[in-house]
Amino acid sequence: MISQPSSSLLARALAVEPADAIGERILDAALEQFGRTGITRSTMEDVARRAGTARVTVYRRFPTKQTLVEAVLLRECLRCLLTLDDAIAGLPALDDRIVEGFRVALGYARAHPLVGGLLEVEPQTILPFLTLHAGPATAAIREYLAGHLRAADGGSGSDTDVVAELMVRIAVSFVTAPEGCVPLRTDEEIRGFARRYLVPLAG
């Protein structure tokens, strides 16, 4: 089982220094390995083999499997936030940013090897981090989203953190339990849901 990071995941992700070429190759290999086989069943030797490097090279940069897993999570958190920023950068209206941000976030999570992938191959590992132990990840995305909401209304919204958390929890619920009466299969369905139900939350 992965232990929870003690400090803000968002702050730590934003502070991540780019790895060197070998480090990036190891992180890429670990991401692919974990998504295909699961974290529990993957070994450092598996990652080294997939990266095309010696196991000792992996250990020099990531002394334990836990540090490697955490490094992958932090990098992927940053990638997700950058993807969201790119998606909404050219949208001046808050309503449109909420709609497009929800579409991108939901699609990103469903397709991501460490979320959608592990829900298929190792749900017992990833589900606790999306439910019972979701505190750090929820706080990170809530902090990011609340910052965007405050910037849009000049910081006047008194319930901004609550609204941001509700949006995060709604998105997570559709990732972990996709079947239901709400059709969210296509981009247009996702956008329609966000415009009708999420935009009003922002007031």
Q: What is the pLDDT along the chain (203 residues), one digit of tens a residue?
A: 333 343 455 566 655 566 788 999 999 999 999 988 999 999 999 999 999 999 999 999 999 998 898 888 888 878 888 888 898 888 889 999 999 999 999 999 888 888 888 888 888 888 887 787 777 778 878 888 888 888 876 655 568 889 889 998 999 899 888 888 999 999 999 999 999 999 999 87
Q: What's the confidence (pLDDT) of residue 24?
A: 92
For the entire predicted model, the pTM comes to: 0.79
Q: What's the confidence (pLDDT) of residue 10?
A: 58
Q: Residues 154, 159, 164, CA angle at the centre, nearest 5°?
A: 90
Query: From CA 59, how far away is CA 50, in angstroms rounded?
Result: 14
Eight-class DSSP state of 186: S
Is residue 116 within 8 Å of residue 96, measured between CB atoms? Answer: no
For residue 166, give the 3-state DSSP assignment. Answer: helix
Count of other CB atoms within 10 angstroms of residue 147:
14
* Token pair in block for residue 63: 């002394």
Query: From CA 157, how far away is CA 13, in angstroms rounded?
Result: 26
Query: From CA 71, how far away is CA 30, in angstroms rounded?
Result: 10
